[in-house]
Amino acid sequence: MKAVFYEIFGEPPHMANLPDPSPAPEGVVIKVEASGLCRSDWHGWQGHDPDIVLPHVPGHELAGTIAAVGAGVRRWRVGDRVTVPFVGGCGRCPECHSGNHQVCEYQFQPGFTAWGSFAEFVAVDYADTNLVRLPDALDFVTAASLGCRFVTSFRAVVDQARVMPGEWVAVHGCGGVGLSAIMIARAMGANVVAVDLTEEKLSFARELGAVAAVNGRAGDVPAAVREVTGGGAQVSIDALGHPSTCFNSIASLRRRGRHVQVGLLLGEHARPPIPMDRVIAHELHIMGSHGMQAFRYADMLAMVETGTLAPQRLVGKRIALDEAPAALMAMDRFDGVGISVIDRF
């Protein structure tokens, strides 16, 4: 199969012809029809993820058709149209038994614990627990764009923050995660404040439903959010993953507000400063959000099918597989608006 491949962290990835994968007894092989490019892939390529063993094929936001099925798989057949959460549960550990596959003790992650979807084929383990059937009307590019960003934002807004109609939600960072969170929070009836450093992204955030925007270059972001919201947001989301956005998100909250950390804080940013005095005095809630279970896709896909959510609006560039190495290396520049998707292999 053709695949994007790297053998040294931080060195340019390249195209390679690699052996086709075979399904594990409880797994499947998926013919990849579309794969999103995510900043998590950039972090992996930089060596920030301890699960990656070199050499490696990145990519974890995928949609496609099942090409081969392991002997132990019961729910799936060759030809089924599927996607998969970026965190797959084993189905057997205590966290999986409690329904929290997204924090499985033995989690399987294409593009991290195993070779990923920047390739013509990808092997996915624990298929009966983790695969998600795609509605016939949902195209592969849109399905891949759900990837880790849209589904992680859905869980962050709906399940973790439990956003209520009329609440103020501040979203710090208007990349793929942040724009997804804005769309979802607006669909839940919230008033959204978008925060970013570029007017282009803030303008797109307004198109997606943000009722106010704060340019982070203008000065004191928490003060600006508190002014817009009349005292602070009930919910604030760091969708970027940087010490400054993490701090600003928490400092933007009103008393007893909820902060959700969605953007990854890795490498030198893994231990950011937190305004703990404010956390204690105002009884703030701090939560992480790490993917979403396969069984929770049903509610999200129902909102997509009815048009309540329109993730296809977030798709930016469509590129070929041989363009992916350059696109991956450029992800630290945060160029462009929306989500880039590989759709030609």
Give me the residue spans of the domains in the chain.
2-147+292-344, 150-288
What gap in Å lies between CA 94 and CA 75, rounded to an integer?
Answer: 22
**Mean pLDDT score of the chain, rounded to an integer?**
95
197 — pLDDT class (breaks 50, 70, 90): very high
What CA–CA distance (Å, rounded) separates 154 from 90? 22
Residues, the chain, total?
Answer: 345
The tens digit of pLDDT for each residue in 2-14 reads 999 999 999 999 9
Tell how far CA 194 is from the center of its chain.
18
Q: What is the pTM of this model?
A: 0.92
Q: In whole angstroms, what is the distance from residue 273 CA to residue 256 CA? A: 20
Distance (Å, whole) CA 269 – CA 322? 31
Name residue, tokens 């594990």: 24
The CATH H-level (homologous superfamily) assignment of domain 2-147+292-344 is: Medium-chain alcohol dehydrogenases, catalytic domain (3.90.180.10)
Q: What is the CATH number of domain 150-288?
A: 3.40.50.720
Comparing 108-122, 235-249, 298-312, 325-339, which segment has the lowest mean pLDDT?
325-339
Domain 2-147+292-344 and domain 150-288, same fold? Reply is no
Render pLDDT for 210-235 as a digit per residue (tens, 0 to 9). Answer: 999 999 998 899 999 999 999 999 99
State yes or no: cis peptide before 135, omega within 30 of 0. no
